[in-house]
C-alpha cells in the first residue's frame, strides 16, 4: 500500500500520511477500515517504526483516523468526503496558479486577487 522515495525532499512520515490520504480520497480505504500495523509498514518500507507512527499521529491530528493502543489505526467515518473536497480544492488551486502563470500574473498579485475576492 505504501511506497516511499528516500531521495524526496518530503519527509518519510509525510509521504506515508499523504498516501493514506490518497487511499481514502479514491476509496481504496473506507470508513472503519484498519490501517496496516505500524510495525508491518515499517518493516515493508525499511524505515523506523516511529516514522510510521509519526505519520499515523499526523493523520489522527488531522481527524482522518482514530488511533487506539492495542487496536491500531482506523479510518474515521465521514472523512472520505472531506479528503476528496480538499483534493479537489488543491487541484483547483493548481489550475489557478497555472492560469495565473499563463497570464503573467505574479504570485503576489494572485494573492491580492484572492484577498479581494474574500472581501
Rounded to whole angstroms, how far apart are CA atoms 64 and 19?
Answer: 12
Tens of pLDDT, residue by residue over 104-117, are 999 899 999 988 88
Pair (20, 48) in one structural domain: yes
The cell numbers describing 112, all together, are 491580492
| DSSP 8-state class, residue 113 | H
Co-location of 41 and 74 in the same domain: yes
Mean pLDDT of 79-83: 65
In this structure, is residue 1 part of a structural domain? no
User: Do 71 and 21 share a structural domain?
Assistant: yes
- Total structural domains within the chain: 2
pTM exceeds 0.75: no
What's the CA angle centered on 61, arms 56 and 31, to 5 degrees? Answer: 65
* Residue ranges making up the domain that contains 17: 12-78
Element (H, E) at 67: strand 65-68
Each residue's pLDDT tens digit, 59-71: 999 888 999 888 8
Q: 34 has which bridge partners?
A: 74
Mean per-residue pLDDT of the chain: 87
Amino acid at each position: 500500500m505504501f511506497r516511499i522515495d528516500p531521495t524526496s525532499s518530503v519527509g518519510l512520515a509525510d509521504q506515508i500520511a499523504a498516501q493514506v490520504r490518497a487511499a481514502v480520497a479514491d476509496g481504496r480505504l473506507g470508513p472503519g477500515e484498519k490501517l496496516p500495523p505500524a510495525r508491518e509498514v515499517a518493516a515493508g518500507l525499511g524505515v523506523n517504526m516511529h516514522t510510521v507512527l509519526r505519520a499515523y499521529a499526523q493523520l489522527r491530528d488531522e481527524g482522518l483516523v482514530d488511533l487506539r493502543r492495542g487496536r491500531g489505526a482506523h479510518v474515521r467515518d465521514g472523512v472520505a468526503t472531506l479528503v476528496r473536497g480538499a483534493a479537489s480544492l488543491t487541484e483547483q488551486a493548481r489550475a489557478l496558479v497555472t492560469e495565473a502563470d499563463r497570464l503573467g500574473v505574479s504570485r503576489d498579485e494572485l494573492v491580492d486577487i484572492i484577498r479581494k475576492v474574500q472581501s
